[in-house]
Amino acid sequence: MKLSWGEIRALARKNQAVDRLNDPELLAKNITVSIAVPSLKLLEYVIDAKTVLDKFEIENKVSIVAAHWSPKKTLRYIAELESKGVEVIIAGADGSAHLPGMIASLTNIPVIGVPINGAHLGGMDSLLSIVQMPRGVPVGTMAINSGYNAAIFACQILALKHHDLKAKLRKHKEMLEKSVESEDLQFSKKSHNHLLKNVGRL
């Protein structure tokens, strides 16, 4: 019998669910994704990632980390990732966008890069910087400002190990399908009505 998240939390509070919480199908609560961004000003461009991860009930944490302005903090941040059980990293950056690559060079945890549209060049500078990583140090690069897709990609990576996420991803894809069908139906009705109203003018 699969428990709801509310039931799991209630049992955990009563110290009666230790074995159940260790069940692989119920481990999504313990998955960790780290979201790194160089400044609060740029946080708005990747906040969608946190929103999606929260929706999928994946534990996540946002950290302000700047490869150039705070290199020592960045090194500490990277060193702590594996000890904290982080399984996927989402890193956003603008301009030269070194943060995702710097993190990827110092850990084996998968890194997903989000190019951010900064003050110049429409984000193409950060996109090309992140996507052109040297051989052997890959960063999975998303579209410019696409924190949403970064989180979905993180979920797909995690679903290889945490199988309960597969069902959630299937529902996500089903919702996308339904939204297109709904919009097509609405458009068809509007177009039909428009044609009826204008039939005398054709």
Degrees (nearest 5) of the Cα angle 34, 37, 41? 140
Helix (H, G, I), strand (E, B) or coil at 20: helix
The pLDDT tens digits for 179-200 are: 888 888 887 777 666 655 665 5
Q: Find tokens 């110049």 and name the residue.
A: 120
Residue 26 pLDDT exceeds 50: no
Q: Are 42 and 92 in contact (CB under 8 A)?
A: yes
| The two structure tokens encoding residue 195 | 């044609």
More confident: 22 or 136: 136
- Return the sign of the alpha-carbon dihedral for residues 33, 39, 40, 43: negative
Phi/psi of residue 145, each to 5°? 65, 20
How far is the first Cα of the chain from the last one, in angstroms, to the nearest whole number? 62
Q: Which pLDDT does position 5 carry in this prediction?
A: 54
For the stretch 70-105, pLDDT in tens is 999 999 999 888 888 899 999 999 988 999 999 999
